[in-house]
Amino acid sequence: MDISKIQQIIVTNRNQIPSIEIVERSFDFDENVNYVLTGVRQAGKSYLMFQRIQSLLRAGTPIEQILYINFDDERLLGFATEDLDLILQAHYQMSEVKPILFFDELQNIEGWEKFARRLANEKYRIFITGSNAKMLSAEFVTILGGRYMMMSVFPYSFNEYICAGNFKLEGNWQYDINCLNHVKRLFSEYFHFGGFPESRNVQQKRSWLSSLFKKMLLGDVIARNGIKNSNSLLFLSKKLAESVGQPVSYTRMSNLVSSLGEKAQTNTMIDYVRYMEDACILFSVRNITRQFAEKEGNKKYYYCDNGILELFLLDGNTSLLENIVAVELKRYYGDDFYFYNDNVEVDFVIPERELAIQVSYSLGDEMSETYERETQALIKLSKRLPYNNLLILTYDEEKTFSINGKEIEVKPVWKWMLQNSRRRNV
């Protein structure tokens, strides 16, 4: 790799990044911490880097100290592990100042983690992004030791989605009918098309999302893992979408895909799901009653964003509602939330808050089967686990009632999400 080409890339990026328009997200970087940021493509990882760079420049950091490289840049085709040190050589030929390093999609380079460890040992300040959940795995955490903070980046939360449209919720906004109606309109859009930042102002959202998913599947799953039978992977993606909220049986998935004319062994299905998890397209939720003896076929799978999920659904409001709740819980609790299934089925439980959640698009009145099913599941669970926070999330229904001395709160999911965003940074 030619050092002059690397220098050209560094200088070009220095000229462009300060003028990039960004919507600032509520992410506070610690001054003395190196970061590895991972998440699905287009979640906004690069823009978080740009946000950090612009804040450093405003604080007086000279532009010559900023070194940003995107390893998806086509000018770096053929770049290999042995070329990584050329980046530092290229910088020091132009400046004596120690750079602050920003490496985008570094997982494209095999052996990146050893390079990252060496840089941290040499006391560089470093920010790394990647579109592969394996970067957060125990293997890489062990290699990187305590040198980096490992963080997941998600598409916009609903609160961020609202703010990205230059609309601010102030005071008692929920009592302002015009404001409330606007929030509900935005939620309908967010509910169906998700929160990818770049899709926020796209008119043809479904086409944009379809193109993005094809890029994820082709680039981050098929090409990266050498998959030859792309049709079976696409069929599996559809069947997983149709199974949101249900424990997955890989044998059943294998049979369903095979019934469509594509041969698919159970072990292949397991591999394909793992590849999609690695690409951050999917994530799994475990059964809390079996969390220490988990079998591959007992997990539920959810899509990283409702916009991707709806590409596969015709009338999927129920699945979309549960998926959006799962994404929100993943955002705040990582892997520390579960579903409960042991003769009683409850959609989500969060042990640290002693919280149990049922998700129902519409609960109906006290005489409805849905009302009976959802409430009784929570009551039965509360007799087995010491959970007093019982919640039913709906699309737009709200009330509170007591059953057998247990209070159950019913809340619109959009209101719950907005309240959640005020409890923690996104």
Going by C-alpha positions, the residue among 126, 143, 147 that lies closest to residue 134 is: 143
Residue 424: pLDDT band with limits 50, 70, 90: very low
Strands (E), 264-395: 282-285, 300-303, 338-341, 345-350, 355-359, 389-394
Task: Answer whether residue 320 shows pLDDT above 90.
Answer: yes
pLDDT at 422: 52
* 152-191 as b/e: b if 16+ CB within 10 A: bbbbbbbbbbbbbeeeebeeeeeeeeebeebbeebbebbb
Q: What's the order of all strands across the beta sheet hosting 355-359? A: 338-341, 345-350, 355-359, 389-394, 406-412, 399-403
Residue 131's pLDDT is what?
85
- The mean pLDDT value for 273-291 works out to 91
Average pLDDT (403-408) is: 90
**pLDDT of 2 strictly over 50:** yes
For the chain, percent of residues with pLDDT exceeding 70: 96
pLDDT of residue 360: 96
Cα–Cα distance between 18 and 55 in angstroms, integer? 10
- The predicted structure's pLDDT at residue 278: 92
Which pLDDT score, from 0 to 100, does residue 426 have? Answer: 33
Residue 303: strand pairing partners: 282
Banded pLDDT at 256 (limits 50, 70, 90): confident
421: three-class secondary structure by DSSP: helix
* Predicted confidence (pLDDT) at residue 294 exceeds the cutoff of 60: no
Task: Determine the pLDDT at residue 290.
Answer: 75
> pLDDT digits over 139-183, tens only?
677 777 778 888 899 999 999 999 998 888 887 888 889 999 999
The reported pLDDT for the residue numbered 289 is: 86
CA distance 333 to 184: 26
- When pLDDT is averaged across residues 268-292 and rounded to a whole number, the result is 90
The tens digit of pLDDT for each residue in 16-61 reads 999 999 888 988 888 888 999 999 999 999 999 999 999 999 999 9
Which tens digit of pLDDT belongs to each residue from 87-114?
A: 999 999 999 999 999 999 998 888 898 9
Provide Rg for the chain, Cα atoms: 23
CB-side neighbour CA atoms (13 Å) of 286: 14
Q: What is the pLDDT of residue 295?
A: 52
> Mean pLDDT score of the chain, rounded to an integer?
90
Q: Are 281 and 304 contacting, i.e. CB atoms less than 8 angstroms apart?
A: yes
Residue-level pLDDT at 358: 97
Of 160-169, 299-308, 400-409, highest mean pLDDT: 299-308
Q: Are 408 and 390 a contacting pair, CB within 8 Å? A: yes
Q: For residue 262, what pLDDT band results from cuts at 50, 70 and 90?
A: confident
Provide the token pair at 344: 């009683």
- Supply the angle between the helices 84-94 and 112-121 in degrees, to the nearest 10: 40
* Pairwise pLDDT comparison (135 vs 108), residue with the higher score: 108
Tokens of 320: 């979309």
Q: How much of the chain, in percent, has pLDDT values that exceed 90?
A: 69
Buried-exposed string 261-280: b where 16+ CB fall within 10 A, e elsewhere = ebebebebbeebbbbbbbbb
Choose the weakest-confidence range: 158-172, 179-193, 237-251.
158-172
Residue 354 and residue 360 in contact, taking contact as beta carbons nearer than 8 Å: no
Reading the block at residue 282, the tokens are 């999917």
- Report the C-alpha gap between 294 and 286 in whole angstroms: 7
Q: Which of 225-229, 288-292, 308-312, 344-348 shows the lowest per-residue confidence on average (mean pLDDT)?
A: 288-292
Task: Please tell me the distance from the alpha carbon of residue 147 to that of residue 116, in angstroms, as a whole number.
Answer: 9
Beta bridge partners of 349: 338, 356
Q: Cβ(107)–Cβ(132) under 8 Å? A: yes
Q: List, in order of start, the domains of the chain with CATH numbers.
A: 3-153 (3.40.50.300), 204-314 (1.10.10.10), 338-421 (no CATH)
The alpha carbon of 14 is separated from its chain's Cα centroid by a whole number of angstroms, namely: 29
pLDDT at 296 over 70: no
pLDDT of res. 140: 73
* DSSP secondary structure of 233-286: HHHHHHHHHHTTTS---HHHHHHHHHHTT----HHHHHHHHHHHHHTTSEEEE-
On the question of pLDDT at 425 being above 50, the answer is: no
100-104 and 66-70 strand pairing:
parallel
